[in-house]
Structure 1
């Protein structure tokens, strides 16, 4: 269960908040204190590349007054299991005033998180997906045995989280469903006890920007995959990009802006790709590209693949596409792992400390001096 997540916290907001790919996380509070309803939108991936449990808990604590109802709305492919568990426990501590709502999909770690709510409502056309924890690893046989043991323990934690929501569920059947990677409809989730109510269905694009991950699950329903392939109608008229500015003072100033910003951010290797990609059209375009480049660099560093930042910036990819490509590179098409019998190589190995070698002449001279002093009656 490893994957990124925009989370948005709103208070008494009318309508559904717009999901902007460039903003993974935002918070807004409004409404009168005596009639507040705190709404949390977990839209996207959970974990280090998205919203961490640490950020979630701190921001919720700042907004929570201890009495207002809290609604946590999910449309997430999942993510890091332990962040999901921490969110599960944070929602559970809110008690009866917390409602978990699945707007489109709560998969993997997101299904664990939403089950922490006292009351769970799944939209008529939404789904809950449960499956075994998984990871990728490298090392020798003993290392991999430890990883397998850790996954077994993680599975027990997952089962405990589901049973906390549905104490009467048949555990043997639950384990079978988890092992089989099961996609539950709203009514099936209610029947199992993992949800309390079937809500009104509102069509929500399934985890926009995470289609590459959706396709990697073994039993993703075709209806969800079809949504990912639907063409998106532009909301604004398409306007051709202006031609590049003629070389001059403006272009030179924009090039200087890119150079200074990249140098300060430690991404000097992205100066040339940014100049080529923006064509120095105007300051707004340049600023947006710099912000995007920083996000791409951060994603590559998080995936331990910083060398791909230049390639992704040159290709003009957005952060959603970058996450998908990094996921492919880290996990690989086969979904398994490679065994490498070579020892890890340190880039800067620590210098070896050599033991001091004996010096026979010095030892002989010291003995001779000691004997001479003894013969003369002089103590050493």
Structure 2
């Protein structure tokens, strides 16, 4: 499915879980719910797939806390991601049966809409949206390659339709295909009317991470009101219950600065990111140990993302700017998509030890070719050498 996606926000959670670098989801072990019942909460507020976390990791982590009887609530706020990862999550939620509730806190788009429909019961916030559209990819190759990819996309569309119809069996097939083909942004009420949602919950304010507006803008029919709201939320300062300090905090002492610089140098050497020492010192200003530790964690995640995108040279710039992994993901994705090169994946297997030796073709020898032609011509005329 269209890989244009990032995100975060929660509906009925008592407090917003802290987002950890490198993770787009958070799983909370079973806590007391109504009438003493246990509830496992899963927050999916990021990209689904390689740029976030794989469905395999999601399923393994869920198994680690699932006792087989507790209610599982999966809260979604995602622009989507990889279709097949979304289908895997859809099937994992479906296997939980009636214990599973999918909650759309703000947006379940693309592969996210496929995933949430695996839940037995889907609750959408009153101002949340569900976006459905055709599968999308980009590819290079000859005409036969493109025909094969088109066939795969047709098959992927049938998988998407099946996922939605599993949630809403009575939905009209022709109408569903029309909505998918048109890239439709469904309100909570529209999703409820179609059977893709079971209940409308309380509305919440949408807050976007940096870069989300840019990725949402790539869809054909993104509601302008949503883009405006996301842009406004980025411009607003984060609310704080603490009073603003009257004076600037004191600068760290020279001794403390030296110790923190040494901490950065040693940690970077151990992690193999010594090239990030200077940008880390510049971005943290050696304020205090907590700031430095947080920056080191971010730097490692940012470096890993840049290496995965085959753009390791960008790590210095991103770390120096103090960007977190979520923002870097969006920027790297924009850069890769904008280049038009996409991703190169080699699925060939290494040759077996007993495979016959490959015959290497030799370069043509002009002298031998000329001699052979002259000999053939002489034979045709009946003359000797």
- TM-score normalised to structure 2 length: 0.78
Partner of 1:364: none
Distance of aligned partners of 1:127 and 1:173 in 2 relative to their CA distance in 1, 3 Å threshold? same
1:2 and 2:15 correspond? no
Match of 1:306, SS state, is: coil
Partner residue of 2:305? 299
* Counterparts in 2 of 1:27 and 1:116: CA distance versus 1, 3 Å: closer
1:116 aligned counterpart, secondary structure: coil
Taking the aligned partners of 2:322 and 2:66, their CA distance within structure 1 comes to: 40
2:262 aligned with 1:256: yes
Flag the 1:177–1:18 CA change in 2: closer, same or farther, 3 A: same
Offset, 1:30: 4.7
Q: 1:213 to 1:8 in 2, by over 3 A?
A: closer
Structure 2 Cα separation of the partners of residues 8 and 234 of structure 1: 14
Separation in structure 2 between the aligned mates of residue 318 and residue 238 of structure 1, nearest angstrom: 24
1:6–1:50 contact (8 Å) kept in structure 2: no
CA distance in 2, matches of 1:207, 1:104: 13
Q: 1:8 & 1:202 partners in 2: Cα distance?
A: 8
Aligned residues between the structures? 338
Range moving further from structure 2, 104-113 or 218-227: 218-227
Aligned to 2:230: 228
Distance in 1 (CA, whole Å) between partners of 2:74 and 2:197 is 14
| Match of residue 328, structure 2, among 295, 314, 322 | 322
In the TM superposition, 1:37-52 aligns within 5 A as 37-52=39-54
Match of 1:347 in 2: none
Deviations 1:91-143, CA, capped at 9 Å, x for gaps: 11111222212111111111000111112122221110001122233444444
Residue number in structure 2 paired with 1:171: 173
Quick check: 1:18 aligned with 2:17?
yes
Aligned to 2:126: 124
> CA 1:241/1:56 → structure 2, altered by over 3 Å: closer, same or farther?
farther
When the two structures are superposed, what TM-score results if normalisation uses the length of structure 1? 0.79
Is the 2:74–2:102 contact (alpha carbons within 8 Å) kept by the matching residues of 1? yes
Q: Which structure 2 segments of 5+ residues have no match?
A: 347-357, 363-385
Moved more, 36-45 or 177-186: 36-45
- Aligned residue for 2:103, secondary structure, equals strand
Partner of 1:276: 282
Partner of 1:154: 156
**Structure 1: tracts of 5 or more residues without a match:** 345-351, 357-380
Question: CA RMSD of the aligned region, Å?
Answer: 3.2
| Contact 1:5-1:43 at 8 Å conserved across structures | yes
Q: 1:76 aligns with which of 70, 75, 78?
A: 78
Counterparts of 2:163 and 2:22, CA distance in 1 = 30
Structure 2 Cα separation of the partners of residues 135 and 114 of structure 1:
22
- SS at structure 1 position matched to 2:113: helix
- Which residue does the alignment assign to 1:286? 292
Partner of 1:184: 186
Paired residue secondary structure (2:331) = helix
